[in-house]
Amino acid sequence: MRAEQKRVKTFQDLILALHEYWRDQGCVIFEPYDVEKGAGTFNPATFFGCLGPDPWRVAYIEPSRRPTDGRYGENPIRLRLHHQYQVILKPPPPDIQDLYLGSLEHVGIELRDHDVKFSEDDWESPTLGAWGVGWQVWLDEMEITQFTYFQQMGGIDLDPVSVELTYGLERIAIFLQGVESAFDLNWSADVKYGEIWHEKERQFSIYNFERADVERIRKMFELAEAEARACLEAGLVFPAYDHTLHCSHLFNVLDARGAISVAERESYIARVRELARGCAKGYLKLLEERRARVLA
Amino acid sequence: MPEFLLEVGTEELPALDAPVLARALGDRLAQALREERLGFSGMEIHWTPRRLAVLVRGLAERQADLVEEVRGPAAAVGLDSTGNPTQAALGFLKKYGATPQDLKRKVVGEKEYLFLEVRTPGRPAQEVLQELIPDILRSLPCRKTMRWDSSGVAFLRPIRWLVCLLDNEILPIRYGSLTAGRITRGHRFFGPRELALNSPAEYVEKLREARVIADPRERERMIRDAAKGVEGEYGVRALWTEELLGILVGSLEWPSPVLGEFPGEFLDLPTPVIAAVLHEEGKFVPFARDGEPAPVFLGFRDGKEDEKGYVRQGYERVVRARLRDARFFFENDRKRPLAERVLDLREVVYEARLGSVWDKVQRIREICKRLVDPLGLDGEQGALLDRAAFLCKADLTTEMVREFPELAGVMGGIYARLSGEPEEVAVAIEEHLLPRTRADELPESTLGTALSLADKLDTVMGAIIVGEVPTGSRDPYGIRRAANALVSLILRKRLVVDLFGVIDAAAEFYPRIPEGKDKHTVKGFLVDRLRHVLRDDFGVPHDIVEAVLAVPRGDFLGVLERAQALASLKRDAALAELAQIFERLRNITKDHGSTAFDPGLFQKEEEQELWREYLKAEGKVRRALTERDFAGALKALLPLGRPVHRYFEKVFVMVEDERVRENRLSFLKALLSLFLEIGDLSVLAV
């Protein structure tokens, strides 16, 4: 129906187009990290990549799991698992906003025919001990990207700072394909998004909201936490970080299950943050010892 | 006379912060120019989301010369007996390159000194400006700062370019990694990326050609006019909020209206829900016709009209999706009567030490019971109030309120009505969060007012009793705002209620914990908020506020009315006379407790006279107080000034004879207590 939609017709084409664009900007094209996480920010390529003085450009897709956002597959846009496209630019170039807008044009959005706004939105992840300043980017008043200048990660002030771009791929694809529900998207020319994901949304919603065994999940949290601590003591930063990610996800499941009181929430978050801080410190130590540059 | 332009080019500033920063930039530049003796005839402030600019007209080319008198040696040291300069004076002259004829003699204190008038010639404006601007930029008050490169500079959002022109000349100031030039930028999508300015004067017009309206007032006009156009065409009324307008003006460089419609099938949603959807999602302006929502909305695209209609399609799709969500919530929520949800509140934590929201509801009910008599409610109203209190928080468990927290209370009212609750109950729930701030609208109904009072009092009391007293800018529970709203509610609704009595009666329902505070802290905190509200919202002068707050009272309205009575009589000479002797009266009776005296022990004529005047006044004062005629009470006190003066002139209070002395003190104490019914007059600045 619109001329501009010629280029990127499917969900996978959108991913490939972004890969292409950011590869040409000198990014390492990374993969999703194979541990469950709530956002692309938790991927080691971002968490560790933002720390330390070395320049770093990376782009990857991240399937992000947020148990509380599950809607049993009944909501057209709210999903327990959605796909983020994540870009980190350290240090950010002065024309970073133009670079970002260029990526939208590259996937076929004619900016002069639409309405793009950068609307104040400061970002914070208490579990990662991270915060930043930036915007939500709105395309015809639909939120498509979180644009953040990270200021702190793992409780450590960043210098240089990094810019994180987090594209909501389902939303952009909905826009490009002119459909109203994520499940109606064409993933490829002949497979629908819903065919891959709908039943998974339903089952995980049932699990997260109704079935997850609270006592067992609590135990799993404790075990992962203990394992993370042990790794930190042994100076094994990366295994420690994997277990930190497990903790963060298990906390999210407990939260969706309604098993965490307000008072407990603070202490759970503090426990995960403590681990994340430990990982950040351990990583900086590695950098000092010159045993690592950017490790993902 | 030269013109000067400074433009700070940024990435998108938060919409409501940009005007604050632009004003600060203007204020600080004006102040710095004055301090630097650089005159100017006018200043214009412009801003958009991407720029803060200040244009100075009629700027002096140079600083005015600075003329200072410099003191040298004492005349006796600097001049010899014939009046010629000594070595000391010659050194002084040499230092300032002056000659003996320039010396002046002047007496300072007891001694005569030699002086020189030293003139420092003014420096050119361009030199001074280049020193000033970086400091001004550094001093701009950001709510939060960020770094975007390693230059060490911090601001609210990244600064990407600087324009600094004095007439057609660039002042190449440096700030962070930037050097100022003459290049500004046009609209992000519809203007040239770079745009050279020849002179400050062409700033506004050049930007207009580049699709940027630099003047925020003009943008506001464009936005309002667009809404008026819709109002006229559709016979509807725009549902504006200050915030919505501020965000629109602050987020657009060239507001271009886009009118959208949504299907009529959504019109059965309550107006507040439709307004919340439109306000939230991208800041659309909702419209209503005769109080009912209209199926149109106005959005603003930045830059240019939506020629192809794609933007409108996009807006409409977003709005449809959100309205569909809202209808889904609305239909789900209605499946259960509101009363059934109340039990769920046991699971909703209010505060670790204060329990669940259910516990809060129980406390609110207890407070409401204690408001029935003071507010003159009958038995039936009391029962309705209790029902409203029981239900008032149940909407927190609805999907609609979880999605749109600002609809709390409002949805409760709507769902109560749909659940068949009495209309009075629904209205009370709907209104019970009003006023949210001290300037917000008030509840109209009596029950809504009572419920609001109880809810806010519980919020404040609960937090303080568990030890969360706000300090400085730290106020995690928003207690100050709640307390301000509570005080404002009482004063603006003119509620005659003894808040201290209610606090005493409700105290037993709060936990006692070691680090917690007691009910006296609650009272003190509320009195302190009353002090602020009296001063800031009711314009009561500082001294009068302190006078009426000297005796803490739970009847806050009475405090306001006393203050107003004092203010109305402030110029009265008799009041000044009373104020003058008040301190003496207070000091002399400071350590004395009793107010019981025996007139038979009075010895002096002045005592008798004061006693007679006291009796006359006391009757009138007590009567006026029961009628809450505080001006009347004060007027009745005024004639006492003269006799009290005479009393202190003629009567020696602290006599040897203990009986006489104690009796005099008791009498004076009774007199003092009568004055204190209005306040401590000694602090009045009369």
State the ipTM, two decimals: 0.93
- At A269, list the tokens: 């978050």
In a domain, B334, yes or no: no
Q: Which of B11, B146, B321 is facing A76, going by the closest CB pair?
A: B321
B204 and B55 in a common domain: yes
Q: Which of A75, A115, A159 is facing B311, going by the closest CB pair?
A: A115
CB contact under 8 A, B189 and A111: yes
B194 and B135 in a common domain: yes
Q: Which of B11, B146, B311 is facing A140, going by the closest CB pair?
A: B311
B403 and B259 in a common domain: no
B385 and B499 in a common domain: yes
B521 and B380 in a common domain: yes
Question: Which positions in chain B touch A2 (Cβ < 8 Å)?
Answer: 310
Determine the average pLDDT of the residues in B33-52. Answer: 96
What would you report as the CA-atom Rg of chain A, rounded to the nearest whole angstrom? Answer: 19
Q: Which of B148, B314, B349 is facing A141, going by the closest CB pair?
A: B314
In a domain, B512, yes or no: yes
In a domain, B492, yes or no: yes
B397 and B439 in a common domain: yes
b or e along B153-173 (b: 16 or more beta carbons within 10 Å of the residue's beta carbon)?
Answer: bebbbbbbbbbbbbbeebbeb
In a domain, B346, yes or no: yes
Chain B residue whose CA is closest to A149: B148
In a domain, B607, yes or no: yes
In a domain, B562, yes or no: no
B352 and B252 in a common domain: no
pLDDT tens readout for residues B666-682: 999 999 999 999 999 88
Q: Which of B190, B209, B228 is the last residue of a domain?
A: B209
Dist. CA B458–CA B452, nearest whole Å: 10
* Best of A140, A152, A255 to mutate (most B CBs within 10 Å, chain B): A140
End-to-end CA distance of chain A: 42
Helix (H, G, I), strand (E, B) or coil at A167: strand
CB pairs under 8 A between A and B: 102
* Best of A135, A137, A141, A143 to mutate (most B CBs within 10 Å, chain B): A141
CB contact under 8 A, B318 and A140: yes
Q: What is the pLDDT of residue B478?
A: 83
In a domain, B559, yes or no: no
CB contact under 8 A, B349 and A135: no
Q: What is the pLDDT of residue A18?
A: 97
Question: Which positions in chain A touch B301 (Cβ < 8 Å)?
Answer: 115
- At B635, list the tokens: 């007027």
CB contact under 8 A, B251 and A119: yes
Dist. CA A130–CA A153, nearest whole Å: 4
B53 and B178 in a common domain: yes
Of A73-87, B208-222, B393-407, B598-612, which gets the smallest average pLDDT? B598-612
Give yes or no for a contact between A144 and A171, defined as CB atoms under 8 angstroms apart: yes
| Topology classification of domain A213-288 | Methane Monooxygenase Hydroxylase; Chain G, domain 1 (1.20.58)
* Best of B308, B344, B358 to mutate (most A CBs within 10 Å, chain A): B308
Helix (H, G, I), strand (E, B) or coil at B628: coil
* A5 interfaces chain B, CB cutoff of 8 Å: no
The pLDDT tens digits along chain A (296 residues) read 344 444 789 999 999 999 999 999 999 999 999 999 999 999 999 999 999 999 999 999 999 999 988 989 988 888 999 999 999 999 999 999 999 999 999 999 999 999 999 999 999 999 999 999 999 999 999 999 999 999 999 999 999 999 999 999 999 999 999 898 999 999 999 999 999 999 999 999 999 989 999 999 999 999 999 999 999 999 999 999 999 999 999 999 998 887 887 667 888 999 999 999 999 999 999 888 876 665 54
End-to-end CA distance of chain B: 50
B200 and B250 in a common domain: no
Q: What is the pLDDT of residue B154?
A: 96
CB contact under 8 A, A133 and B157: yes
Chain B residue whose CA is closest to A157: B147
B509 and B363 in a common domain: yes
Question: Which positions in chain B touch A113 (Cβ < 8 Å)?
Answer: 308, 310-311
Q: Which of A138, A159, A261 is facing B282, going by the closest CB pair?
A: A138
What would you report as the CA-atom Rg of chain B, rounded to the nearest whole angstrom? Answer: 35
Q: What is the pLDDT of residue A263?
A: 62
Q: What is the pLDDT of residue A295?
A: 54
Q: What is the pLDDT of residue A293?
A: 62
Q: What is the mean pLDDT of chain B?
A: 92
Q: Which of B295, B328, B361 is the last residue of a domain?
A: B328
B71 and B55 in a common domain: no
CB contact under 8 A, B314 and A115: yes
Q: Which of B492, B516, B539 is the last residue of a domain?
A: B539
Q: Which of A101, A115, A160 is facing B301, going by the closest CB pair?
A: A115
Question: Which positions in chain A touch B283 (Cβ < 8 Å)?
Answer: 141
B494 and B347 in a common domain: yes
Of A202-206, A218-222, B31-35, B103-107, which gets the smallest average pLDDT? B103-107
Number of domains in chain B: 5
Q: What is the pLDDT of residue A2?
A: 41
Q: Which of A76, A141, A175 is facing B299, going by the closest CB pair?
A: A141
CA of A88 vs chain B CAs: smallest distance (Å):
14
Dist. CA B189–CA A293, nearest whole Å: 39
CB contact under 8 A, B349 and A94: no
Dist. CA B582–CA B572, nearest whole Å: 16
Q: What is the pLDDT of residue A1?
A: 38
Tell me the residue range of the domain where B241 lies: 216-328
| Topology classification of domain A3-208 | BirA Bifunctional Protein; domain 2 (3.30.930)
CB contact under 8 A, B315 and A140: yes
CB contact under 8 A, A180 and B282: no
* A118 interfaces chain B, CB cutoff of 8 Å: yes
Question: Which positions in chain A touch B162 (Cβ < 8 Å)?
Answer: none
CA of B369 vs chain A CAs: smallest distance (Å):
30
Distance of CA A164 to the CA centre of its chain: 10
* Best of B331, B332, B349, B357 to mutate (most A CBs within 10 Å, chain A): B349
Residue boundaries of the structural domains of chain A: 3-208, 213-288
Dist. CA B134–CA B155, nearest whole Å: 13
* A119 interfaces chain B, CB cutoff of 8 Å: yes
Banded pLDDT at B281 (limits 50, 70, 90): low
Q: Which of A77, A114, A133 is facing B311, going by the closest CB pair?
A: A114
CA of B64 vs chain A CAs: smallest distance (Å):
41
CB contact under 8 A, B150 and A91: yes
Question: Which positions in chain A touch B14 (Cβ < 8 Å)?
Answer: 120
pLDDT tens readout for residues B469-508: 888 777 777 899 999 999 999 999 999 999 999 999 999 9
CA of A151 vs chain B CAs: smallest distance (Å):
7
pLDDT tens readout for residues B360-397: 999 999 999 999 998 999 999 999 999 999 999 999 99
Dist. CA B340–CA A136, nearest whole Å: 39
The amino acid occupying position B388 is A
- Vertex B386: Cα angle to B381 and B391 (nearest 5): 125
Is the pLDDT at B167 greater than 70, yes or no? Answer: yes
Q: Which of B146, B149, B310 is facing A113, going by the closest CB pair?
A: B310
pLDDT tens readout for residues B291-314: 888 999 999 999 999 999 999 999
Q: Which of B149, B283, B321 is facing A77, going by the closest CB pair?
A: B321
Chain B residue whose CA is closest to A98: B188
* A72 interfaces chain B, CB cutoff of 8 Å: no
Helix (H, G, I), strand (E, B) or coil at A82: strand
Q: What is the pLDDT of residue A296?
A: 46
**In sequence order, which residues have a C-beta less than 8 Å from that of residue A202 and are 6 or more positions away?**
A72, A73
Instruction: Give the sign of the dihedral formed by CA B618, CA B621, CA B625, CA B627.
Output: positive
Q: Which of A76, A112, A159 is facing B150, going by the closest CB pair?
A: A159
CB contact under 8 A, A175 and B282: no
Question: Which positions in chain B touch A161 (Cβ < 8 Å)?
Answer: 146-149
Chain B residue whose CA is closest to A109: B310
CB contact under 8 A, A77 and B160: no
CB contact under 8 A, B147 and A77: no
Question: φ, ψ for residue B66 (rounded to 5)?
Answer: -100, 120
